[in-house]
A and B are shown apart, each in its own frame.
Chain A
């Protein structure tokens, strides 16, 4: 499982203030903590209140790269924020994200090719978030086809079916789980799959247990990557155990410790 740490997001109060005050120490501490707990990449998002997202993203990238050497996921809806950010990324980059809209794909797929970056494709277009799994599959297929046409390797594409909060769209979680498997039949080699995990529990009172349970179910459905909070120890235990049950790790009595010794 490829783990993308979600905590460097301006939406979180501590991070938002650190970005505003340009306080590197907070950002670097959170970066190091996430890597120490198993993150294979870090998501960077300036948050909704950033007045100058291009500069803020560049500052974030530089601050994080001084502390850790790890792939960075540039998380913005604005293509120019990603384009300017990519210029500074030293390790591998992940573009987070494109939608299935042609005008976004036109800009972001060539950027991904130029920087040899991975690309997250959301099954979403101007009409909004799909209400069922067929529409998700259709949008995913559109993104895959566009990548193939432009010569972007589909193995570096991560399709995100968009997880919705279970208290808002309870009928959709099952569709999301089912479509994770169906994405794999779009092409050969198939695209990879990713979810923004915490969204499933947004606004609920029992966030951690909902996140954990959904993660286990999604891993069971073949999920390749997740944007999540690696500091949530119980969540990580569920992730490690799910992989163990799928025979991706060799069992031993201390398998949780063994995973963390990696």
Chain B
């Protein structure tokens, strides 16, 4: 006798979030847990965004430096390389150079830069600030205005710092990244706070903050899983897609960074980080990640292939 698999039926559905204007990408709208196609539809596959900095990354290991080469000095060329050479459909810009300790570029310089990047990219953009709240509250509204109509994904905002950036995204028609420190209660609370300002739930993406394999991956995984279960059970304030900044977490681990001299027997340094980034990403796909922000083109290729296979069912 054939065994019939038990199928879960859900009442909720994840929101659809659209990023970009001309070549817009949609994420979300899952009706079941990840890749359980028999239980419910998932019209949009998870997407990968290439992480691009507006300044030369001082502490990136050789594996990453060698993958990009000269373009690391020029964010516009870097974005172009991602799109034309690597086939990026989504790019995540990190505006590090605005940080008071990392270059302290002015609001005007940053706004002019993102305009240039927009023209060069031709694909939807995710815009992240420098991590300094006071400065981000100046540069992100300026970016929102400069990119008006581009329907970007901008962030991250936190429970302690969301009003200015939310207002800017509302005014200029962008979506927002709501970040919580691996905490489902704060994730839900922040979504309420943002939607109370008038932001439609369909323009919020949850950044649950993640850890790399070996560095707290399972905490983030279980938070995402629990949030997704609640969302599928009808909790509207957790029904947002997830964005996971996997690249930044992976590439600071010892496993991804250490040289072969430092860690004899751990395998080639140029491959270790790629494997670490791909594996971490693959785990978060299973937890429900909708957008993965990644660094190494080879790791991205592996993950994209994984996504294609999983979506085929």
Contact = CB atoms under 8 A, between A and B. Distances in A.
Interface of A: 249-254, 257-258, 261-262
A253 B235 contact: no
A139 B187 CA distance: 47
A250 B193 CA distance: 16
Contacts of A252: 185-189, 192, 237
B236 interface: yes
Nearest to B195: A261
| Chain B: interface size category | 10 to 19
A251 B237 contact: no
B236 A250 contact: no
B80 to A, nearest CB: 42
Given A250-B226, A250-B227, A254-B192, A261 B185 contact: no
A251 B189 CA distance: 9
The 7 closest A-B pairs by CB, nearest first: A252-B188, A252-B189, A258-B237, A254-B192, A252-B185, A250-B230, A251-B185
Contacts of B27: none
Contacts of A254: 189, 192-193
Interface in B225-241: 226-227, 230, 234-238
A241 to B, nearest CB: 15
B184 A250 contact: yes
Q: Is the interface of A mostly helix, strand, loop or mixed?
A: loop
B234 A250 contact: no
Nearest to B180: A252
A261 B200 CA distance: 12
B236 A262 contact: yes
7 contacts: A250-B184, A250-B230, A251-B188, A252-B237, A253-B189, A258-B192, A258-B237
B206 to A, nearest CB: 13
Q: Is the interface of B mostly helix, strand, loop or mixed?
A: helix
A31 B185 CA distance: 33
B192 A261 contact: yes
Contacts of B226: 250
A183 to B, nearest CB: 24
Given A261-B236, A262-B234, A262-B236, A250 B192 contact: no
A249 B192 CA distance: 14
Interface in B260-292: none
B15 to A, nearest CB: 13
A251 to B, nearest CB: 5
A251 B235 CA distance: 11
Nearest to A251: B185
Nearest to A262: B236
Contacts of A257: 192, 196
A252 B184 CA distance: 8
B238 A250 contact: yes
A121 to B, nearest CB: 25
Nearest to B192: A254
Nearest to B234: A262
A250 B184 CA distance: 8
Interface-central residue, B192, B196, B226, B236, by most chain A CB under 10 Å: B192
A36 to B, nearest CB: 15
B188 A250 contact: yes
A229 to B, nearest CB: 23
Contacts of B188: 250-252, 258
Given A250-B235, A257-B192, 18 more contacts: A249-B235, A250-B184, A250-B188, A250-B226, A250-B230, A250-B238, A251-B188, A252-B186, A252-B188, A252-B189, A253-B189, A254-B189, A254-B192, A257-B196, A261-B192, A261-B195, A261-B236, A262-B235
Nearest to B188: A252
Contacts of A258: 188, 192, 235-237
A261 B227 CA distance: 16
B280 to A, nearest CB: 25
Interface-central residue, A251, A252, A253, A257, by most chain B CB under 10 Å: A252
A204 B270 CA distance: 78
A50 B71 CA distance: 83
Contacts of B230: 249-250
Nearest to A253: B189
Contacts of B235: 249-250, 258, 262
Interface-central residue, A250, A257, A261, A262, by most chain B CB under 10 Å: A250
A72 B38 CA distance: 32
A254 B188 CA distance: 9
Contacts of B187: 252
Nearest to A249: B235
A261 B189 contact: no
A250 B226 CA distance: 9
A243 B192 CA distance: 19
A157 to B, nearest CB: 20
Contacts of A261: 192, 195, 236-237
A253 B186 CA distance: 8
Contacts of A253: 185, 189
